[in-house]
């Protein structure tokens, strides 16, 4: 190709007519066609800058460029690809760190060093590695779109090679291979409507289009009502504010409230198969910590490292705004791909506030009418369209897969009334609000039990009642009410002091503090207390329920204070004790002894 942009323009079909930072306005040749979300490349000398069409007006279109646009000028050629911004799906995704356009960052660093040249791209997956393909169907079999043709081992999982999701009807397998293949080798041939097509172990899918959409419409896959909770090992979440498997949740909180530690704990201990972390605008230092921590973190589920079943999409706040906006869609598409295999997938987006800020910057450059706080008027619908891609589905092979989405929100100054937080709260069904005051007091997790909520309580109550305790829902409601009563009494004490309340109210307040300190708080850095399985959570809940319902007959405030301080210390030591250790039984007996001694008084 000639290095003269004006000479190339007619051949490529479009030229740049205006540049607004990361946004370029292009004019399309009369013989060419352009589609929304189509990918194109702006040619600047020998560099090809990837871009995506956002808006079309007649023969002109607005494109967001995923690179620095320095040097782009009017008249530069734009090469249109006739392809949507897509993810490459296939074996080898797990354990990788990608940017928002699915460029593997480690491979880029190995090839180009720490300072990546503009326009540098490499294949998302290793095209030379061979995988052992085992067919699960035979020639002549009819298979629906998304149906399984064969499997390959990928780390601790069986990776299913599926009929391309874009097929419109069930296909007939005319030939299928077996053995070792690269991702580009043909492993099967399929027929439909008299046409034969070749199938490899990888396929592409547009990131802004949900994978199951065409499958659901044709009843090859079916959305299900989630009835099982996601077990995180964090007591305040599992007991008070549960998230359904395949559900949605958000963790808003100010800077320094512990969002990063909490999401790492959830990623490590949750009852899911695959974890996808999308760092869509988080600070570079925190992302580097995640990238270095996950490969060194022991995974209790597989026995390997947490990175073995994790995919990280990395677009920090210092990376191009346009790529930050696309990164969340890339992460969701990769998560949906593994969900289609019948696996349970958890996607953590950190932070959706900066993703929304990227949309605000792009919207401003497009001169769209702004909404509240200059965010685009379609902010609410964009947030809803992202979280609506979560869910549980019945796969064509009869297995069930789920995608659970948890987004962290970073409102400026911890203001939960700002547009991104409010739109998110109107979409998700679990709200885990982090409090700066609780974080300042070194409470972890700093989830405020007085402002947080879960709309899954009624939905999950049958499962909790059947698998844990028939009175689970009622007990949690009573403990929550005790926390509310204790907070009201504490506010009175701030004005009147302890002498301004009755002894009965003082005891109620002490019981609420016991619940908070002994049950709701956990030590994320303790090997035992960082994660509490549900059976032990049930034992802990029963112990707490008994403690707060007994009438100890205290005669004065000091007696009550001393008793609850003693029990709280014993309870915390019990939390730190492994269930098969002598300390477990020792502290459990010590709590019971303290109760009996107080009752005897």
Query: Residues 70-96: pLDDT tens digits?
Result: 999 999 999 999 999 999 999 999 999
549 is in an annotated binding site: no
Domain membership flag for residue 363:
yes
Which pair of structure tokens corresponds to residue 400? 């069930």
The DSSP bridge pattern shows strands 142-143 and 171-176 to be antiparallel
Which pair of structure tokens corresponds to residue 167? 């097929």
Domain membership flag for residue 116:
no
Residue 198 belongs to a domain with what CATH number?
Answer: 2.40.50.100
- Within the chain, which residues score under 70 in pLDDT? 1-12, 212-222, 282-285, 316-319
The DSSP bridge pattern shows strands 430-431 and 400-409 to be unpaired
235 & 160 share domain: no
**How long, in residues, is the chain?**
601
452 & 512 share domain: no
500 is in an annotated binding site: no
Cβ distance 267 to 290 under 8 Å? no
pLDDT of residue 4: 41
Measured distance CA(521)–CA(514) in Å, rounded: 10
Measured distance CA(91)–CA(85) in Å, rounded: 20
Domain membership flag for residue 535:
yes
139 & 232 share domain: no
370 is in an annotated binding site: no
Measured distance CA(405)–CA(263) in Å, rounded: 12
pLDDT of residue 5: 39
69 is in an annotated binding site: no
Measured distance CA(230)–CA(244) in Å, rounded: 5
- The Cβ of residue 198 has, within 10 Å, a number of other Cβ atoms equal to 11
Rounded to an integer, what is the distance from CA 42 to the centroid of its chain?
32
Measured distance CA(154)–CA(151) in Å, rounded: 9
343 & 429 share domain: yes
Residue 557 belongs to a domain with what CATH number?
Answer: 1.10.1140.10
Residue 281 belongs to a domain with what CATH number?
Answer: 3.40.50.300
Instruction: Using the 3D structure, point to which of 204, 238, 268 is the last residue of a domain.
Output: 204
Residues 121-158: tens digit of each pLDDT: 899 999 999 999 999 999 999 998 889 999 999 989 99
pLDDT of residue 169: 86
The alpha carbon torsion through 42, 43, 47, 50 (nearest 10 deg) reads 20
Task: Please name the residues in contact with 12: beta carbons below 8 A apart, sequence gap of 6 or more.
Answer: 43, 77, 78, 79, 80
Does 91 sit behind a cis peptide bond, omega within 30 degrees of 0 on the bond before it?
no
Measured distance CA(487)–CA(493) in Å, rounded: 10
152 & 284 share domain: no
Instruction: Using the 3D structure, point to which of 51, 83, 115 is the last residue of a domain.
Output: 83
pLDDT of residue 317: 63
pLDDT of residue 166: 85
291 & 400 share domain: yes
260 is in an annotated binding site: yes
Task: Please name the residues in contact with 236: beta carbons below 8 A apart, sequence gap of 6 or more.
Answer: 445, 447, 449, 519, 520, 522
pLDDT of residue 348: 95
247 & 382 share domain: yes
Measured distance CA(453)–CA(49) in Å, rounded: 45
Domain membership flag for residue 107:
no
Phi-psi region of 536 (alpha: psi -120 to 50; beta: other; left: phi over 0): alpha
371 & 448 share domain: yes
pLDDT of residue 224: 83
Instruction: Using the 3D structure, point to which of 204, 234, 265 is the last residue of a domain.
Output: 204
Longest dimension (CA), the chain: 97
Domain membership flag for residue 112:
no
Residue whose C-alpha is closest to residue 75's, from 155, 4, 169 = 4
259 is in an annotated binding site: yes
DSSP string spanning 244-273? Answer: ETT-EEEEE--TTSSHHHHHHHHHHHSS-S
Measured distance CA(521)–CA(438) in Å, rounded: 11
pLDDT of residue 218: 46
pLDDT of residue 193: 85
453 & 487 share domain: no
533 is in an annotated binding site: no
Number of domains the chain is built from: 4
477 & 438 share domain: no
pLDDT of residue 398: 82
Domain membership flag for residue 415:
yes
440 & 499 share domain: no
Does 562 sit behind a cis peptide bond, omega within 30 degrees of 0 on the bond before it?
no
298 has which bridge partners?
305
pLDDT of residue 296: 84
Domain membership flag for residue 348:
yes
257 is in an annotated binding site: yes
Domain membership flag for residue 114:
no
Domain of 383 in residue numbering reads as: 225-457
pLDDT of residue 24: 95
Does 445 sit behind a cis peptide bond, omega within 30 degrees of 0 on the bond before it?
yes
pLDDT of residue 298: 83
Helix, strand, or coil (residue 332)? helix
448 & 474 share domain: no
Measured distance CA(224)–CA(355) in Å, rounded: 29
- 3-state SS record for 392-456: EEECCCCCEEEEEEEEEECCHHHCCCCHHHHHHHCCCCEECCECHHHHHCCCCCCECCCCCEECC
């Amino acid at each position: 190709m000639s290095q003269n942009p004006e000479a190339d323009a007619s051949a490529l079909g479009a030229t740049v007519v205006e540049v607004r930072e990361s946004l370029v306005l292009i004019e399309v040749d009369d013989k060419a066609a352009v589609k929304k979300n189509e990918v194109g490349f702006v040619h600047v000398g020998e560099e090809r800058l990837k871009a995506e069409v956002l808006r079309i007006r007649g023969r002109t279109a607005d494109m967001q460029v995923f690179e620095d646009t320095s040097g782009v000028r009017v008249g530069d050629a734009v090469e249109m690809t006739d392809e949507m911004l897509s993810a490459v799906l296939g074996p080898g995704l797990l354990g990788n760190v990608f940017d928002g356009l699915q460029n593997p960052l480690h491979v880029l660093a190995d090839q180009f060093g720490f300072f990546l040249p503009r326009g540098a791209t490499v294949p998302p997956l290793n095209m030379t590695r061979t995988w052992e393909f085992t067919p699960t169907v035979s020639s002549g079999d009819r298979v629906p779109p998304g149906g399984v043709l064969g499997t390959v081992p990928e780390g601790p999982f069986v990776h299913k090679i599926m009929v391309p999701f874009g097929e419109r009807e069930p296909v007939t397998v005319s030939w299928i291979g077996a053995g070792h293949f690269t991702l580009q080798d043909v492993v099967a041939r399929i027929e439909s409507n008299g046409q034969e097509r070749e199938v490899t172990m990888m396929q592409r899918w547009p990131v802004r289009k949900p994978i199951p959409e065409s499958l659901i419409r044709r009843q090859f896959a079916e959305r299900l009502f989630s009835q099982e909770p996601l077990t995180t090992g964090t007591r305040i979440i599992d007991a008070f504010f549960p998230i359904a498997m395949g559900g949605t949740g958000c963790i808003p909180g100010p800077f320094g409230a512990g969002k990063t530690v909490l999401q790492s704990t959830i990623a490590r201990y949750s009852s899911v198969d695959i974890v996808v972390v999308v760092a869509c605008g988080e600070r570079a230092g925190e992302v580097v910590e995640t990238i270095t921590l996950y490969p060194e973190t022991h995974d209790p589920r597989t026995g390997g490292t947490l990175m073995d079943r994790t995919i990280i999409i990395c677009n920090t706040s210092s990376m191009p705004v346009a790529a930050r906006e696309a990164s969340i869609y890339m992460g969701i598409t990769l998560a949906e791909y593994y969900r289609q295999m019948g696996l349970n997938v958890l996607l953590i987006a950190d932070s959706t506030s900066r993703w929304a800020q990227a949309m605000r910057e792009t919207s401003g450059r497009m001169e769209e009418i702004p909404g509240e706080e200059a965010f685009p008027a379609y902010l609410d619908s964009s947030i809803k369209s992202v979280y609506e891609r979560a869910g549980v589905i019945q796969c064509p092979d009869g297995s069930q897969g789920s995608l659970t989405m948890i987004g962290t929100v970073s409102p400026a100054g911890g203001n939960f009334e700002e547009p991104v937080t409010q739109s998110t709260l109107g979409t998700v069904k679990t709200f885990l609000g982090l409090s700066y005051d609780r974080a300042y007091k070194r409470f972890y997790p700093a989830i405020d039990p007085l402002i947080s909520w879960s709309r899954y309580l009624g939905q999950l109550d049958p499962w909790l009642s059947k698998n844990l305790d028939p009175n689970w829902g009622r007990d949690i409601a009573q403990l929550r009410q005790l926390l509310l009563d204790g907070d009201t009494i504490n506010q009175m004490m701030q004005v009147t002091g302890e002498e301004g309340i009755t002894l009965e109210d003082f005891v109620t307040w002490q019981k609420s503090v016991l619940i908070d300190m002994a049950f709701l708080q956990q030590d994320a850095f303790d090997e035992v207390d960082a994660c509490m399985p549900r059976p032990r959570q049930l034992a802990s809940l029963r112990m707490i329920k008994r403690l707060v319902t007994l009438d100890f007959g205290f005669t004065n405030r000091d007696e009550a204070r001393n008793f609850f301080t003693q029990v709280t210390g014993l309870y915390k030591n019990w939390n730190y004790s492994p269930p098969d250790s002598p300390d477990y039984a020792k502290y459990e007996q010590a709590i019971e002894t303290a109760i009996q001694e107080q009752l005897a008084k």
